[in-house]
Each structure stands twice: as C-alpha cells, then as structure tokens.
Amino acid sequence: MVRRNSSFGRLALASLLAVSAMGFPSQLALATRLPADLKAQISTHMPAVKLFRLDGSLQTGAGDLYLPLMPPAGFQAAKGQALIALEPGAGKPDLIVFPSGWSFIRVVKEGPHRSLKLPEGLSEKVRKHVLSSKFPSDLLVPEGFVLPLSMKSIRSDVVVNIIDDLSIAKQATQADSVPDPSGAGVVIATSPNCGKLALIDDKSFKKIDEFPTEGTPCGITYFGGIVYVADQTKHRILQFDPTKRIFLGQIDLPTKCAPKGVAAHKQSKLLYVSESATNQVAVLELPSGRMLLRTKVPAGPGRLIVTPNGSHLLVLNATAGLLTMINTSNQRMIAAIPIGSTPGFMTVSKDSQLAFVASKGTNSVSVVDLAKKAVVHKFSTGSAPTGVALNGDETKLFVANAKENTIWVFDLKTKAKVEEVKLPLDLDFPGEITLMPDGERLLVSSEATDTVGILNTTTLKFETQPIIGFTSDEIKWFPTAAAKVSQ
C-alpha cells in the first residue's frame, strides 16, 4: 500500500450528511487534503473544477467527477517536468497528470455503470505511471462504480467491484447476482450424511429428483450454468447441470485436502475452494478447473462467500473461531477477525459493507464491518445458531437456532428481537437458511429430519415442508435455462 507524504495531512472525520449530499454512500470517512501547490495547479489547468471533495476527488461545475490517484511509491518529480494533459474536448480532459505525480481521471458512464477509461493514444510512459498509481485508501467510491480489470492495479485497499467487460458484467449481474424472480430455477439441497443432492421445484416446492454422488457433498455454488459441489471425502468438485439434470464431470483436487466450501467469483471467472484438511483456500480457473494457486488461512476453513462487489472473499475458520478476509485482486489474506467458537454460517449485505456471522459456540451473531475489519455489534441468539439470512430490503435479520428449533427475527434498526418462529414438528435442527429470489420465502434445511422448510417472510408461517427423504446441509436456489422445472 502506498504511503502518503505527511505534508498531505489528514482532515477530521467528514460529516455524514455532507458526504451523503454529494451522492456518495452514506458512511463516515477520513479525507485527504491535497497540497496547496497542487490545488493551485488544478485551478490553473482545470478551471472547470469548482469543488474539491473531502477525499481528494474533483468536481466540475458541469458535474464531471475526477478521482485522484496517488503517485507510485518512491516517485520523485523531475525538475522542470511538464504537465501532461490529454483533452478529447476543450476544457474536459479524460486524464491529467501533474508534475508531483498526482493524477486525476474522469469518471465516465458505461451502460448501467460508472467507470474509468484510459484515453486512446496514451504514451507507454504515462500509461505505466497511471497503472502504478493508487487510489487513496479513504476514497469514497461513487454509487454504481466499477473498475475495469485492466486497471485493477490502482485499486489499493479500496472496496470496489472489478469486472473484465462491462457489457458481460451487466448480463452476469442480471442473470446471476440478481436473478429474475419470475425466471426458471430449481432448489438444490446437499446431504453429506447420505451423499445425495435433492432437486426441488421452485414453484410447487415438491421434490423432483435425487442424485447420488458416492461421496460427501457439502458446499454448492453456481457459475455459467453449472452448479459446483464440493465433495469432501472424494477430494473433488462435482459439476452438475441443473437444467439437463446430469453430472458433467469433476475437478480433481489434491489427495486428502477435504474440500468443504465453494464460492464463485463471476467477474474474474474464479472458483474458490476451502480445503478443510490443509487449511488452505484453492483458487481455480473457470471453466477449465485449472489450479492457479492456494492461499494459507487459519485452521478449519469451511463456508465461503464472495462479497457482492467482488472485492473480497470471506472464509469461516470454524476451528480457529475466525472470519478470514482475502483480497480477490491478489488472493492474499488481509484480515483474521475473531468471531467466537465454531462460526458456521454467514451472510453479507448487498452493499458489501457488513457480514453477519453465526457462532454456534457462543450463541451469538457477530456483525462485522468489512471496511474496519472489526466486529461492531453482537446479537445474542438462541442455542446453537446456524443459518443467517437478510430479508429483501435488509431491514431484518433471520437467525436459525438449531437446538431450539426456532428462527428468531431481529430488527436491524433497533437491533431488537421482534419475532420467534417455532419450526414444525417434522422439521428439526435447522442448518442453512436462504432467501428465495422473490424475497418472500426462506428456504430452511434440516440436519436431523428428511424434510426442508419453506417459510413465508411476511406471515412468518411455514407454507410447506417438502419431504426429500434424507437430511440436508446447504440449500440454495439456482437459475435454469428450462421454461419450467416440474415433474
């Protein structure tokens, strides 16, 4: 990470209301003070700039926004170095580089996103300088902002989504990240105890079929029309087509690595696998399945989640009682946050700011601020909390209590428990709970009975308990290409 020259200084905490009024996310942030001589040069060469924002960004009178880039580590300005400005139109440069090494690049609209684009005809010297520069770590990321993969080197520790192609990312977001509630899909539940997958119709919630794996299926995830299943005892990743309802093949992993959790990074086309026996996270290329590298993590890695913005991988380390954060741009571990005994399940807010982690051994759910890399609140729960889920508008938190066979509902604004739902008699020891795409139903797995539950999040009544014939661990909805999945 690039260190700032002390002359740049730091301002006090920015006003939340002032920052929100500028169109940035509503959060407090430390702000960067630009050197006086740099501000003078900006005023001379960029007269359209009317506002110096608290994080060093610039805004013109016409509303154009320029994000700051700090010079590379060890950069020394040459005497008499000329100002470099590239202007596609009078008074509106896409990029401007100052003698001090500071650069400012204009935010452009690309489809549904705001992003950055290096100007055409850029000299190799300038291109290298810009790509070696870094965002200030306290940059306030504009709403709807994404960073092209070709410019990921400038990200530093700023939480921002990185994509390789804006048009492809748009389709992926619509198809995978925010599934169409009216689209075709299927519910899949894994059963490590009996080695099977259960397929459940997402409209009637009746069991469609079951598929033996001859192994121990645990974590499941989705990428490119394929469901990837971690097989813990066979040390492999199974590839299942939910539309054709067939196994397509497998990815073999190192012997005795015991894969337990899987998570797909859709933008980077990577598959993360927690190796519970080696205390490592494997990074695989998709769709080839080629092993790229492995990252060492604390003891007992299990379930994984890629944050919605794609910037971090979160790993639950059950044995160590930690939540591990891995930077997805370089696959390095950047934090190990104490949670409590036996953390088993988690969920993340849509804005990638908060993670909610259930700790079975401490009867609590920790709220982790991912920017601060620290626990900022703890909810006391019932006995042995397992699955956690947020409702559609993220105003409520659902927590499954395995030993009490209940689901507690917390109001996230007041942080108070507002409801307690008893599980039906034929649904026992709940595991994972997952919100359906329609936001109206919660899927509930059962580690002790041969049924799963469908809970209406409005009425808080169980609509049905489909019999699948065996116990279940993870349960998730996945899109299919079929018009309808039915018997």
**β-bridge mates for residue 32, sequence order:** 10
Average pLDDT over residues 453-468: 96
The first and second tokens of residue 116, run together, are 């950055």
pLDDT of residue 85: 61
Poorest-pLDDT segment among 11-20, 292-301, 336-345, 369-378:
11-20
Statement: residue 20 has pLDDT above 80: no
pLDDT for 409: 98
Residue 483 tokens, joined: 């018009």
Residue 31 clears pLDDT 70, i.e. is over it? no
Q: Is the pLDDT of residue 310 over 70?
A: yes
Does 475 or 329 have the greater pLDDT score? 475
In this predicted structure, the answer to whether residue 176 has a pLDDT above a threshold of 70 is no
Is residue 27 over pLDDT 70?
no
Q: How is the chain split into domains, by residue range?
A: 6-158, 176-479
Question: For the segment 77-112, what is each residue's pLDDT rounded down to a tens digit?
Answer: 665 555 666 655 445 788 888 888 899 999 988 767
pLDDT value for 11: 30
pLDDT in tens, 196-220: 999 999 999 999 999 999 999 999 9
pLDDT at 370 over 90: yes
The answer for residues whose C-beta is within 8 angstroms of residue 90's C-beta and 6 or more apart is none
Cis peptide, bond prior to residue 298, ω within 30 of zero: no
Per-residue model confidence as pLDDT tens digits over 374-430: 999 999 999 999 999 999 999 999 999 999 999 999 999 999 999 999 999 999 999
Query: What pLDDT shows up at residue 267?
Result: 82
Q: What is the mean pLDDT of residues 273-298?
A: 94
Average pLDDT of the residues in 301-326: 95
What average pLDDT does the segment 343-353 reach?
Answer: 94
Tell me the mean pLDDT in the region 328-356. 94
pLDDT in tens, 241-258: 999 999 999 999 999 999
Residue 202 and residue 441: Cα distance in Å, rounded?
Answer: 10
Distances, alpha carbon 400 to alpha carbons 159, 226, 432, 465, in Å: 30, 28, 8, 16
Whether pLDDT at 55 is above 70: yes
Please give the pLDDT value at position 16: 29
* CA atoms of 437 and 202, how far apart (whole Å): 10
What is the structure's pLDDT at 79? 57
How high does pLDDT run on average in the chain? Answer: 85
471 pLDDT more than 90? yes
Q: What is the pTM of this model?
A: 0.66
**295, 270 contact by CB (below 8 A):** no
How confident is the model at residue 87, as a pLDDT?
55
69-76 average pLDDT score: 85
Report the share of the chain in percent with pLDDT over 90. Answer: 60
CATH architecture of 176-479: 7 Propeller (2.130)
- Residue 172's pLDDT is 41
